[in-house]
Structures are given as C-alpha cells and as structure tokens.
C-alpha cells in the first residue's frame, strides 16, 4: 500500500489507483479488491490510524451508523495487514522522537564519544553555556566564522581518532568551506579554558569566546558524509566526518566544490533513497529540508565511490 501512496503523491499512474484528488490530497486505491480513500501526504500507518479512529468513534454511535461501521472495519482489516507487512519491511525507520543533542549538529566518533556542533551563533553560545562541562573538549577553527564543536568526554580519555574526527567536523562547518579550502587549522582546549567573557580590560568580538591557556592545533580536513545514521534501531539524516560514518546505513561523500546547495541536496536525496532501497529493500521518502540542514553553507562536489 505504501508503494501506491508514493505513486499517488508523485502523480504516477497505476491500475490500482482509481482516482487522485490533489486539492484534498486524497487518492482512491484498490487493496485486495477493496477501494480505499487514503491521504497521500501521510504514511500507510497514519492512514490506518485514521480509519481506526473513525471506527472507534462510530462504535460509540452504533445506532447512527451500523452499515458505515462495517465498511470502515472492513477497510481497516485490509489496511492492518498491509501496515504489518510494511512495518516489518521498513525497520529501521526514520526517528520521530528526538534526543536532546539532535537540536544541534551531532555524530558519534569511532571511539564512541558524542560530538556535537552549533548551527549558528545562538546555538554556539547555548552549547558553551548550557552543555559544556569542564572536562569536555572545545574545538574551533583558528579564525572567526565557524561552529563550536564539543566532544562530550564524561571523564574518559579521548583518543586520536576522536580528536581527528572532531577537528575535521569543526573545519567542515566553518567559513573555510565557503572559501573552497581542503584543510583548515583547528585548535582544541578543555572546557575549563573557555570563558564567555574576557578578563577586565580585554575585548572579544560578539559571539566569540575567550580562551585561556595553551591550545593544541590540528589540521582539519573539509570532507563530510551525509546519510542515514542508525540510532537506537532507527534512522536519522545527519552528517559526520567520513571516518566516523561506519554507522550510516547509506551515505554520500561531499567536499567543497562548484555545485549550489539546493541542487546538491536534491541529488543527495535521490542517491540515498535509491541506495537504501538496494541495500535494505526499504522505500523511504527523505525530507529535503533535513538534508539541507545537514550540509554546511557553501558549494559542493559529490564524491563517487
């Protein structure tokens, strides 16, 4: 049934699609010789829930609609079988309930550390003031104009793999991408070295932080994997350094290039949907806006395998 809903949404024809009313977002499809009206902007599960709720309401007013109730229950019975098959074939699925760190940019390093990055000046400030702890690691490019990136250590020693991946992340989500660079200088310090305000008599630009003590420098590589990350058995669209993308079900590599952002996102969407169907036999409609949010500002080149 989900296949027919997708075809109706895209305006494609099928013998099982009797009618499509685009003004009302309703398609009449045939399931097991039964015509059923579905909202093609919703999933099969959501349409089944709609019929279930209608049947439940009618059961409370049985004297007003016995025949209608029987019809709805018949349609619901047909759709339940379709949904059960669909749910089995489509696991893991796109997550609906977000974790706290999904408000930011995020990934998990190959050593298991949560790495989070700001999306703008406001979220950079929020990360430092609300979520950064004294033993976390703070990453930023040497020049202004980049995301704050934190490695949440929870008191553990951070290895070289995580340090390199966090540096690549900070470099990729910075002005260096807009400038078309391949590498950028990135420094990191402990959270206890980062101050929101400078000492008396000193000035820092708005949105900046004062760093006290020694900084450690790394070369951050500008390259990202955009794909579907498996999180708690479900999938989320996100981006991460290529070396940390082993938990992605499907992915696309991008580097700074000449292609504008919207066109890149549309191409990534098509590639990911096709690849996901090949490797998992799942058909998912990916949100273009989520892909756009996972990309840094600038232009792109998609790297083939």
**pLDDT value, residue 25:** 83
As given in the structure block, the two tokens for residue 21 are 């009313």
pLDDT of residue 75: 63
Nearest by Cα to 189 from 167, 171, 207: 167
Residue bearing the bigger pLDDT, 198 or 173: 173
pLDDT of 119 strictly over 90: yes
Question: Is residue 224 predicted with pLDDT exceeding 90?
Answer: yes
Q: Alpha-carbon Rg of the chain, whole angstroms?
A: 24
Closest CA to 117 of 135, 96, 141, 98: 141
pTM of the shown model: 0.67
In the predicted model, what is the mean pLDDT of residues 4-22?
78
- How do residues 54-94 score in pLDDT, each as one tens digit? 877 777 776 666 667 677 666 666 555 444 444 434 445 45
Coil/strand/helix, residue 263: helix
What's the whole-number mean pLDDT along residues 16-42? 82
Q: What residue segments make up the domains of the chain, in order of their start?
A: 2-90, 100-221, 224-303
pLDDT value of position 73: 67
Residues paired with 27 in a beta bridge: 20, 38
Q: 96 falls in which pLDDT band (50, 70, 90)?
A: low
- Cα–Cα distance measured from residue 150 to residue 166, given in angstroms and rounded to the nearest whole number: 8
- Rounded CA-CA distance 134/289 in Å is 34
Contacts of 200 (CB under 8 A, 6+ apart): none
What average pLDDT does the structure give for the chain?
86
Closest by CA to 258, choosing from 197, 178, 171, 139, is: 178
Is the pLDDT higher at 228 or at 92?
228
Q: What is the pLDDT of residues 144-195, one digit of tens each?
A: 889 999 999 999 999 999 999 999 999 999 999 999 999 999 999 999 999 9
Shortest CA distance to 272 belongs to which of 234, 225, 231, 232?
225
Q: How confident is the model at residue 141 (pLDDT cuts 50, 70, 90)?
A: very high
Q: Rounded to an integer, what distance in angstroms lies between the CA atom of residue 34 and that of residue 139? A: 59
CA distance 103 to 202: 33
DSSP string, 216-232: EEEEEE--EEEEEEEET
Range of 30-39, 69-78, 213-222, 243-252 with top mean pLDDT:
213-222
H or E stretch at 207: none
Where does the pLDDT of residue 256 fall: very low under 50, low under 70, confident under 90, or very high at 90 and above? Answer: very high
Q: What percent of the chain has pLDDT over 70?
A: 88
pLDDT at 113 over 90: yes
């Amino acid at each position: 049934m989900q296949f027919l809903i997708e075809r109706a949404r895209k305006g494609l024809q099928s013998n099982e699609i009797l009618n499509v009313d685009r003004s009302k977002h309703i398609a009449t499809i045939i399931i097991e010789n039964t015509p059923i009206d579905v909202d093609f902007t919703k999933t099969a599960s959501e349409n089944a829930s709609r019929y279930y709720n209608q049947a439940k309401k009618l059961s409370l007013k049985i004297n007003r609609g016995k025949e209608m109730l029987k019809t709805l229950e018949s349609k619901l019975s047909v759709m339940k079988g379709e949904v059960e098959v669909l749910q089995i074939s489509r696991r893991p699925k796109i997550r609906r309930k977000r974790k706290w760190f999904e408000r930011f940019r995020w990934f998990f390093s190959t050593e298991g550390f949560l790495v989070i990055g700001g999306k703008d000046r406001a979220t950079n400030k929020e990360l430092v003031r609300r979520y950064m702890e004294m033993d976390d690691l703070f990453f930023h490019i040497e020049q202004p104009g980049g995301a704050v990136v934190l490695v949440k250590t929870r008191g553990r020693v951070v290895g070289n793999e995580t340090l390199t991946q966090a540096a690549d992340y900070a470099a990729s989500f910075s002005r260096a991408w807009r400038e078309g660079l391949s590498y950028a200088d990135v420094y990191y310090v402990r959270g206890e070295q980062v101050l929101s305000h400078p000492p008396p008599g000193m000035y820092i630009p708005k949105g900046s932080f004062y760093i006290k003590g020694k900084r450690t420098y790394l070369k951050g590589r500008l390259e990202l994997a955009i794909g579907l990350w498996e999180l708690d058995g479900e999938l989320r669209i996100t981006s991460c350094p290529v070396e940390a993308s082993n938990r992605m079900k499907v992915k696309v590599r991008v580097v700074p290039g000449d292609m504008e952002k919207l066109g890149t996102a549309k191409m990534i969407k098509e590639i990911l949907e096709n690849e996901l169907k090949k490797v998992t036999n799942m058909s998912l409609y990916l949100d273009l806006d989520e892909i756009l949010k996972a990309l840094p500002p600038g232009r792109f080149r998609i790297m083939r395998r």
